[in-house]
Structure formats: C-alpha cells, structure tokens
Amino acid sequence: MVNKLPKSQRFVLGQRIENKTIDLMRSFIVANVERDKYVILHRVSTELDELRIFIRLAKLRLDSAILREVGDTMK
C-alpha cells in the first residue's frame, strides 16, 4: 500500500508504519517474558492504535491521490 502513495508522502509515512510495527514486535517479545504483563500490554494497545491511525492515513492519502489522478485524466 505504501508503495502506491505519492512520492512526497511515501517515505515519511512508510517509515512511521515500519517503525511502529517493529516497536510492536519488540513489545510483544518483552511482554512474553515479563511477569507483570499489564503495563506492557497497555503500551502495546496504544502502539497498535497508533499503527492503525498511520495505516488509515496512508489509505486516505492513497484514495485521495487516486481520485486526483482520475480527475486529471477526465480534464
């Protein structure tokens, strides 16, 4: 999905999605070995919400770019 974004937005948003995914994986690994998982899993939940927002933003930007492209071809 990120590869289809306009070049100007691709790197920053793609990098944020990638970094957040890596952070989530690290948190799951830590939660797996900790006894008190509540604090870590709460942080995982927050990170997952952030990732969802980044993915939705990427989708919105992609949809916007597609609509703009269609509009340009109809001129």
- 58, two tokens: 């990427």
Tell me, letter by letter, the H, E, C secondary structure of 10-69. Answer: HHHHHHHHHHHHHHHHHHHHHHHHCCCHHHHHHHHHHHHHHHHHHHHHHHHHHHHHHHHH
pLDDT digits (tens, 9 = 90+) for 26-66: 999 999 898 888 888 998 999 999 999 988 888 887 777 77
Higher pLDDT, 33 or 70: 33
> 7 — phi, psi (to 5°)?
-55, -40
